[in-house]
Amino acid sequence: MAYAIDLAAIRAAHERIQHLVHRTAIATSQTVNQRTGLEIFFKPENTQKTGAFKIRGATNSVLHLKETDPACKGVVTHSSGNHGQALSYAARSAGLPCTIVVPENAPAVKAAAIRGYGADVVYCKQTPQSRQETCDEVKTRLGYVHIPSYDYPDVMAGQGTISLELLDQVPDLDAILVAVSGGGLSSGVIMAAKSLRPSIKVFIVEPKGKMLQECLQAGERIWPNPPQSVDTLADGMRTQQMGHLTWPIIRDMAEKSTIAVDDQQITAAMKFTFERMKMVVEPSGATTIAAVLSDRFQELAKEHSLKRVAVIISGGNVDLDDLPWCSNKTPST
């Protein structure tokens, strides 16, 4: 089957963006190793430029667009925050105007950062339909190019550069844990990892309520329509359905068993990472940390005889005045 991206596209993305993004260093935790009985290697994209992995796909998309359409008037997208920040940063670097459509419930820190990178912010309702409709209106009115946050080949290829770095830094991995929303990160990571190391296992981490494991085991999209949002603390992972370009890669290459985490696990993982690993992570970034510390992961590790596992931390853009253990949003752990 022909997929939206391949290893060649990911390698081309790496050549295009490597001088503009960080090669994030591998982090380890003796405490995590002791708790899991495994060697765990963290890929901390929370230390990436703009605070999340999204800068990879956004930069690749903007630079490729400039190559193919030098007369482009500008770019637009809808985003809960991190893709918006990344596209704003990438567009400013390339000298392109940028507008970001942001759901009205997005963290204020992310909207402020988008403005700080020079983009215009337009608010919309938090439904997937409102996000798309508002983005389409801006695109038509201003003549901008829409660069989606996940279902876009250049975005997917850019995110896949994480695996190129990761397998160069830790070449003998048994498995990777990666979080999923629309699938831009996970599809790119899986395509590169499985192309370079076919025996590697990639486990998807999802918020409870996403229904990805049911879809994977059925081998088809069984999400309800119209598209719904997931009720989760992980604000960057509230999209329930995966993209139509990202889904086939996940369906065919990811492990059929996922690791689902709830708000209490996410909160505990955030607090653990702040206190013990001395890193700032956002709720979405903490989902994979919650997963690696879960009983479910222990079951999968034994089932697949895992020894060396990478955990991708997707981002660290969190409002420090609204940490979950300092509010009534979720139980303190």
pLDDT digits (tens, 9 = 90+) for 223-249: 999 888 899 999 889 989 999 999 999
Q: Which of 79, 80, 187, 294 is catalytic?
A: 80
Q: Which of 29, 43, 49, 54 is catalytic?
A: 54
Share of the chain above pLDDT 70, in %: 98
In 3D space, the residue among 37, 21, 46, 79 whose CA is nearest the CA of residue 288 turns out to be: 46
Known active-site residue 54: yes
Residue 285, CA distances (Å) to 191, 237, 249, 272 in order: 21, 10, 22, 13
Kindly tell me if the per-residue pLDDT of 330 is higher than 60.
no
Give the mean pLDDT of the chain. Answer: 94
pLDDT at 327: 61
pLDDT at 328: 52
pLDDT digits (tens, 9 = 90+) for 32-52: 999 999 999 999 999 999 999
Structure tokens at 35: 């708790």
Average pLDDT over residues 7-20: 97
pLDDT digits (tens, 9 = 90+) for 116-142: 999 999 999 988 789 899 999 999 999
pLDDT at 332: 36
Kindly tell me if the per-residue pLDDT of 333 is higher than 50.
no
Known active-site residue 80: yes
Kindly tell me if the per-residue pLDDT of 292 is higher than 90.
yes
pLDDT at 249: 98
pLDDT at 1: 78
Kindly tell me if the per-residue pLDDT of 265 is higher than 80.
yes
Share of the chain above pLDDT 90, in %: 86
pLDDT at 158: 98
Q: Where are the alpha helices (DSSP H) in 117-262?
A: 128-142, 153-169, 184-196, 212-218, 246-253
Mean pLDDT lowest for which of 54-63, 102-111, 186-195? 102-111
Which position has the token pair 């997929």? 3
pLDDT at 49: 95
In 3D space, the residue among 214, 165, 167 whose CA is nearest the CA of residue 194 turns out to be: 167
